[in-house]
């Protein structure tokens, strides 16, 4: 996952004040040490005011790897400022600044200065850990819209959202395809910035917003960086996450596979074409990844709620799939064996899995491909006498749509409507089954066989 260099506001660097004085004597007794043989990062060594060596104190402090950049600052400016403000000397050990490991710092100075520096660094770490980084992609032709004249638009988005928004200068010109937009800040501010960009491009004549982080480099079947990320389907703001039913043909028809059927009024299709092969590859990659015990451990879900997007197996099947959580019994006694109802986002079917079978969905798998299952309803028909669809009607519909057999039928969208609480559409469609030289309209066939009535009657 992309991690831009962290910036720290000087406003975070504040003195501790007189309230600390009561703790100084105890701090001095606890931490006073002789000079230590410490391996220093040369670029962090700065000259500070001379110490009163008689009362010199040294403490050691752990800095999480996620906050190391914030504590150091660009060119070491933050750590230098802390040293100047507190009249201390701060040095790092156990590694290189570019290594992705926790670091140990030594703070040396008077008891007052050491305590003040310790408090400042705690504030910097807390601020750094509350921030997140996200990278979204937009079409190269849209870069100008996001930047604006003289950078006015991107500056406005940053100021209004409270997140730092940046498009690297080296990709702004002469680029084709997708261009990254880097966003950093508190989670709510980052989501606000993403929505502002989405709205800006959606309102433009040629808006082609794509929300998709870059792929991480792989090492065999494992990923170098696995950072658990939480996504809920009700919180997604862009329709690009969901496949659409769109035709490029004059007759408006699309080749589809019928992947799941509840009844003729609710079934799911997948468009045929290159995405079918991409979905096959995605399932193989997910299965390779989640079969590894170390990856499953990293991907363990600590909590769940309805609408959460996750990875899960299908019983009797060796693969892992992208799912959303539908229902579960939310009780204080929820266990690993608690049954959870899930919806398979690429196929449209539902199943029950155990709580411990649900895993965090790696961002690579989430954003690689739009969810392929498209909800549809057959146009022009209703169940006989306003009753529920009969088993015979459903079976006949499945047979002639070749449901789950992965054989093509033609779909012709008649109307699209937006689904409540999710940024996706469902479609009213005509279905055509090709039988030799004859096209069979499935809705008309259901009516003729007595399984349905026409909506026009």
Q: For the residues 54-82, what does the mean pLDDT come to?
A: 84
- Separation between Cα atoms, residue 259 and residue 146, nearest integer Å: 39
Pairwise pLDDT comparison (218 vs 297), residue with the higher score: 297
- pTM for the full model? 0.53
Three-state SS sequence of 3-60: CCCCCCCHHHCCCCCHHHHHHHHHHHHHHCCCCCCCCCCHHHCCCCCCCCHHHCEEEE
Q: pLDDT value at position 37?
A: 34
Alpha carbon 21 to its chain centroid, in Å, reads 46
Please, which pLDDT band fits residue 76 given cuts at 50, 70 and 90? confident
H/E run at residue 125 = helix 111-129
Comparison of pLDDT for 448 and 77, the residue scoring more: 448
| Residue-level pLDDT at 427 | 96
Mean pLDDT computed over 92-104: 69
Say what the pLDDT of residue 35 is: 38
Mean pLDDT of the chain: 78
Q: DSSP letter for 437, please.
A: T
Report the run of H or E that residue 409 belongs to, with start and end: strand 409-418
pLDDT over 90, % of the chain: 35
Supply the pLDDT for residue 176. 53
> Which tens digit of pLDDT belongs to each residue from 7-29?
333 333 333 333 333 343 333 33
Q: State the pLDDT confidence band at 55, using cuts at 50, 70 and 90.
A: low
Identify the band that residue 177 occupies on the pLDDT scale cut at 50, 70 and 90. low
When comparing pLDDT for 38 and 119, which is higher? 119
457 pLDDT band (50/70/90 cuts)? low
State the pLDDT at residue 416: 92
Per-residue tokens: 180 = 């990254």
Other Cβ atoms less than 10 A from the Cβ of 177: the count is: 8
248-296 per-position pLDDT tens digit:
777 888 999 999 999 999 999 999 987 888 898 899 899 999 998 888 8
Give the domain ranges of the chain.
Answer: 10-129, 133-214
Split at pLDDT 50, 70, 90, the class of 57 is confident
| Encoded tokens for 387 | 């009753």
- Residues of the chain above pLDDT 70, percent: 76
pLDDT digits (tens, 9 = 90+) for 347-402: 999 999 999 999 999 888 888 889 999 999 999 999 997 679 999 999 999 999 98
**What fold does the segment set 133-214 form as a domain?**
Ribosomal Protein S8; Chain: A, domain 1 (3.30.1370)
Q: Do domains 10-129 and 133-214 have the same CATH topology?
A: yes
CATH of segment(s) 10-129: 3.30.1370.10
pLDDT tens-place string over residues 107-149: 999 988 999 999 999 989 888 777 877 888 777 777 888 898 8
The pLDDT-based confidence of 452 (bands split at 50, 70, 90) is very high
């Amino acid at each position: 996952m992309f991690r831009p260099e962290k910036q720290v506001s000087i406003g975070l660097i504040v003195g501790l004040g007189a309230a600390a004085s009561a703790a100084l004597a105890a701090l001095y007794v606890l931490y006073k040490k002789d000079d230590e043989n410490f391996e220093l990062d040369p670029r962090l060594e700065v000259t500070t005011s001379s110490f009163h060596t008689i009362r010199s104190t040294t403490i050691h402090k752990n800095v999480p790897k996620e906050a190391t950049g914030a504590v150091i600052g660009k060119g070491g400016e933050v750590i230098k400022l802390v040293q100047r403000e507190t009249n201390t000397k701060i040095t790092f050990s156990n590694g290189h600044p570019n290594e992705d490991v926790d670091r140990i710092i030594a703070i040396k100075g008077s008891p007052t200065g050491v305590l003040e520096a310790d408090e400042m660094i705690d504030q910097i770490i807390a601020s750094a850990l509350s921030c997140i980084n996200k990278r979204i992609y937009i079409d190269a032709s849209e870069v100008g819209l996001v930047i604006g004249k003289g950078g006015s638009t991107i500056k406005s988005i940053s100021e209004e959202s409270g997140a730092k928004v940046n498009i690297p200068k080296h990709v702004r010109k002469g680029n084709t395809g997708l261009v990254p937009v880097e966003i950093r800040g508190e989670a709510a501010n980052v989501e606000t910035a993403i929505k502002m960009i989405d709205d800006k491009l959606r309102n433009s004549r040629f808006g082609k917003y794509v929300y998709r982080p870059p792929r991480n480099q792989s090492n065999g079947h494992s990923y170098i960086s696995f950072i658990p990320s939480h996504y809920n389907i009700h919180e997604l703001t862009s329709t690009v996450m969901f496949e659409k039913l769109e035709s490029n043909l004059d007759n408006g028809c699309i080749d589809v596979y019928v992947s799941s059927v509840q009844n003729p009024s609710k079934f799911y299709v997948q468009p045929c074409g290159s995405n079918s092969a991409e979905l096959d590859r995605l399932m193989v990659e997910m299965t390779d990844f989640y079969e590894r015990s170390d990856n499953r451990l990293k991907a363990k879900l600590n909590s769940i709620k309805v609408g959460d997007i996750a990875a899960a197996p299908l019983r009797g099947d060796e693969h892992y799939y992208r799912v959303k959580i539908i229902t579960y019994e939310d009780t204080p006694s929820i266990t690993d064996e608690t049954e959870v109802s899930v919806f398979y986002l690429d196929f449209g079917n539902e199943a029950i899995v155990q709580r411990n079978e649900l895993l965090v969905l790696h961002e690579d798998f989430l954003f690689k491909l739009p969810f392929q299952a498209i909800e549809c309803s057959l146009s022009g028909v209703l169940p006989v006498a306003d009753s529920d669809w009969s088993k015979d009607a459903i079976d006949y519909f499945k047979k002639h749509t070749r449901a789950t057999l992965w054989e093509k039928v033609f779909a012709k969208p008649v109307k699209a409507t937006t689904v409540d609480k999710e940024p996706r559409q469902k479609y009213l469609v005509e279905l055509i089954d090709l039988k030799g030289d004859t096209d069979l309209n499935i809705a008309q066939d259901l009516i003729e066989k007595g399984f349905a009535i026409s909506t026009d009657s």
